[in-house]
Structure 1
Amino acid sequence: MTTKATAESAPPVSPTLAAELREAVTSGRTRSVAWRRAQLDGIVRMLTQNLTLWERALAADLGKSADETHVSEVALVLDEARHARARVAGWMRARPVAAPLAVQPAWAHVRSEPLGVALVIAPWNYPLQLQLAPVVGALAAGDAVVMKPSELAPATAALLADLVPAYLDARAVRVVTGDAGVASALLEQRWDHIFYTGGERVARIVGAAAAQHLTPTVLELGGACPVWVDRSADLPVAARRIVWAKLMNAGQTCIAPNHVFVDAAVRDALVTELRAALAEQHPDPRTSPSYSRMVSQAHLDRVVERIGDGTAIVGGDVDRDARYVAPTFLADVAVDAPAVTEETFGPILPIVPLTDVDAFVALQRDRPKPLALYAFAGDRSVLDRIERETSSGAFGRNVALAHIMVRGLPFGGVGASGHGAYHGRRSFDLFSHAKAVLAKPTRPDTLALVIPPITERKRAVIRRLLLR
């Protein structure tokens, strides 16, 4: 297939779009397990049957290699879709709940039902994965869905607009492309759920719009994800894993290490190992097919500005025409410099020495909670302490970024890094309403015990049965 739609040529947003798709849910069309499985099968086929097209689109948008596209975009969505497809019938079953003595005889259960119509707004950095992974949960839950891909990844947005109608139920699933004006028009409508991935500034706009209709939202944001490297760490392994996590997608990853705090006693040794790891993984990043590019000139300029927050001891090279920023390690960076306190979203890695782990923990307590926090240490008590005494969306012990590959772990932020989490069963629950159901026979009418008038005999029974 070839792409026909483009973000630039997108038609105006229908003011009745949400209402039109809500009809698919209220009519019962989306509720059967067969429909849900068919949509999940459609996502799998859309990805596997058009793999070359996805590779080309992501290369055009971000300079991603085919290998990185497979690992960080396609494979994660396939895993989510196949897992949900295999288990959705069980997730849909009513879950029994024990009824207390006060209402016996009675039977209670929780039934998951579709929320309605979900609006899923995706970012540009992982424009396929972060668009479709939440959609998997919405479709498994029996919701109708509108996808709004990022206009900053136009090739991927256009391909989604082209392929989705061919593989998914057009009466319940739509793709709407366009710029911020299109997103604003969508937010004026009443949705039953809004799932937004992106930055804090736009998240406030999304939250304000959702509040007008009391629409529940999930906000997957970011945060300057810190790393602690302890004096007890295995430095070669720590360096190798930090460099890999930092440079995936050229640092344009919300859970990438943003900066490294290191025990001053091993700072020089860590820098040596980081240099070695970079030379091994990206010996010539400018020509490497495994090294991505900045998404836009504006983003490149913002990332390059952060180089000025320190001294480049590795890298620092920039090619604006090619949207290329070299992997760059910074020294002489203050703990309150923007490169440390703000999310860089690029291949710039400040390396900041601290006296010890006490200083690191104290610093983290005073800062906004990040989407992820990573620590490398051979001393288990150091890792235990950081896990216990800091707060973050996720915590990696001697590993960075890889937690996103574990379907059973919730993915989401806390505080300024977002709220709500998904992946696996949590995605289904996120897009479902847990309806409480209580069934009670009319005979014997034991509720008469608590229905006025309350006699002395009733009062004695209540105290004996309910207040013991």
Structure 2
Amino acid sequence: MGEIKVIREKQQMFFSRGITRDINFRKEALRKLRKVIIEKEDKIAAALKSDLNKSSFEGYATETGLVLNEIGYFLKKTASLSRKKRVSTPVFAWPSSSYVVMEPLGQVFIISPWNYPFNLALVPLVGAVAAGNVVLLRPSGRSPATNAVIREIIKDSFNEEHVAVADCDSLTSEKALALKWDLIFFTGSTDVGKKVCQMAAGNLTPLVLELGGKCPAIVEDDASVKIAAKRIVWGKLINAGQTCIAPDYLLVNKRVKNELITEMQTAVKNFYGENPAENPDYPRIVSEKAFERLLSYIDSENVISGGRYRREALSLEPTLLNATFSDRCMQDEMFGPILPVIEYGELEEAIGLITKTEKPLAVYFFSNSREKQKRILRETSSGACLFNDVIMHIANDNLPFGGVGASGSGRYHGYESFRTFSNIKAVMNSSPYIDIPIKYPPFGRWEKIIRMILR
């Protein structure tokens, strides 16, 4: 804890010197970070393989590549995002000019999780640096190989007073959360998110919470079933389902249920072969504890397909379960390669089931009907809504990413990251020479005029 206080004091002094306000300084820091990441791509891939058995392709597509893409965005946009934006001024404030400036918040504390240990540590960090902040990053202790590479990258890219990495233990995190920060950015579970809120409350520290939840995939009877099956299976099995925006459960119109299940089984076989648990490109479950939790959801009576596993490799094959909303597997976020399947009759029934649960990070709706799509958009609430696809919104840095309600608060990626890590300051510059008397007492003679203006 003493080390964190020392780092924090160094960063506070460094920030107070105004160096990070310089746009060229920020861009040069991002260029150096990009250079170091590219130099260490092989190390990053090996670490992700060690921690989660991610293939080289999946590691780059879902982790390293997205970080480099975010850096590229800010190298192009930081200067324009930092310029003051003129806004109109009401007539009763004449003669004045008004504008908005984006200034750095200051000291940012980022807490990142284990499931995408490189992406979810570095993407918010890139936004914070682009916006001119100093950063302390605390990665998860459950991805040790990736954390070691992250430490190397940060050490080779930044001075400690600009960006530093904290120890991964929970005690360090708790004590750090009790300190005063200008922003805490947390990615993790809803339960831990609640504790973070409580610990940050003493200093009224602003929070961004990127949490979890149960994201539904809904397949209507007019959907392109083969495409729906392929995309749902793909999205569910990225990182073996250990993804906050993975389809967590499947709502399927009973008229296409059998066809969809058959196509999903075919997709699993095409992607990972007859025995996915033996496939070297199939990611593993992060820990024995998580593995046992997933096995506890599997009952031979409710298994549609899958259910085989290799305990020694922490590998569980893709599993479809017949389920109802009262089943235990529907009470918690799944975070694994198990997909509960629930059938419904009409679309209003599916919407009713979704709206009875906590608001998710995303809703995935498969239908070729524009009217049905409009209904889903209008009658459900979520951080994102995708039609005829899953997960792909996270790769678009022009879209904000985040949750609503129990799935999180705040947004990031691209422009939204810049807003999140900036103080959006209102500025008004009034003339010292012309003074309109309407705002001064006595008021009687001006009331009619002010009523005409303010309406």
Q: Which interval holds the TM-score relative to the shorter structure?
A: over 0.9
Give the secondary structure class of the aligned counterpart of 1:302.
Answer: helix
Q: Which residue of 322, 345, 353 maps to 1:355? A: 345
TM-score normalised per structure 1: 0.94
Q: CA deviation at 1:18?
A: 2.5
Tell me the alpha carbon deviations over residues 211-249 of structure 1, each in whole angstroms, 9 at most, x when there is no partner.
111111000001111111111111110000000000000
CA distance in 2, matches of 1:262, 1:357: 10
Give per-residue Cα distances to partners, 1:93-115, cap 9 Å, x unaligned. Answer: 11101111111111111111111
The equivalent residue for 2:250 is: 260
Give the structure 2 partner of residue 199 of structure 1: 189
Give the Cα–Cα distance (whole angstroms) in 2 for the partners of residues 452 and 335 of structure 1. 64
What does 1:100-179 correspond to in 2, within 5 Å?
100-179=90-169
Secondary structure class of the residue paired with 1:353: strand
Q: In the alignment, is residue 94 of structure 1 matched against residue 84 of structure 2?
A: yes
Instruction: Quote the Cα distance in structure 2 between the aligned partners of 1:436 and 1:467.
Output: 21
Instruction: Say if 2:277 and 2:309, in contact at 8 Å, map to a contact too.
Output: no
Contact 1:194 / 1:218 at 8 angstroms: preserved in 2? yes
Instruction: Give yes or no for contact 2:34–2:71 (8 Å, CA) kept in 1.
Output: yes
Kindly report which structure 2 residues correspond to 1:2-401, keeping only aligned pairs within 5 A, or say none.
13-283=3-273, 284-308=275-299, 311-331=302-322, 333-401=323-391
Question: For the Cα contact (< 8 Å) 2:47–2:145, is it kept in 1?
Answer: yes
- Of 411, 435, 442 in structure 2, the residue corresponding to residue 453 of structure 1 is 442
Letter in 2 for 1:354: Y
Instruction: Tell me how far 1:16 sits from its aligned partner.
Output: 3.9
* 2:432 is the counterpart of 1:438: no
RMSD between superposed Cα atoms in Å: 1.5
Given that 2:7 and 2:161 are in contact with CA atoms closer than 8 Å, whether structure 1 keeps it comes out as no
Q: For 2:301 and 2:92, how far apart are their aligned partners in 1?
A: 67
Cα distance in 1 between the residues matched to 2:23 and 2:342: 53
Q: Distance in 2 between matches of 1:379 and 1:14?
A: 54
Residues 25 and 114, structure 1, Cα contact 8 Å, conserved in 2? no
Q: 1:400 to 1:443 in 2, by over 3 A?
A: same
1:7 — aligned with what? Answer: none
Equivalent residues of 1:309, 1:338 under 8 A apart: no
Once the two structures are TM-superposed, the CA of residue 290 in structure 1 deviates from its matched residue by: 2.2
Per-residue CA deviation, residues 176-217 of structure 1 (Å, 9 max, x unaligned), is 122211211211211100000000111111111111111110
Tell me by how many angstroms 1:467 deviates.
4.4
Q: Is the 8 A contact 2:96 2:429 kept in 1?
A: yes
Distance 1:275 1:29, change over 3 A: same
Give the CA deviation at 1:159.
Answer: 1.3
Identity across matched positions, percent? 37
Report the secondary structure of 1:207's partner residue: helix
Unmatched runs of 5 consecutive residues or more in structure 2: none
Structure 2: distance between partners of 1:440 and 1:366: 52
Change (3 A) 1:205 1:310: farther
Give the secondary structure class of the aligned counterpart of 1:412.
coil
TM-score by length of 2: 0.97
Change (3 A) 1:365 1:334: same
SS of 1:306's equivalent in the other structure is coil
CA deviation vs aligned residue, 1:100-137 (integer Å, no higher than 9, x gap): 11111111111111111000100000000000111111
- Cα deviation digits, residues 249-286 of structure 1 (max 9, x gap): 00000000111111111111111111111111111322
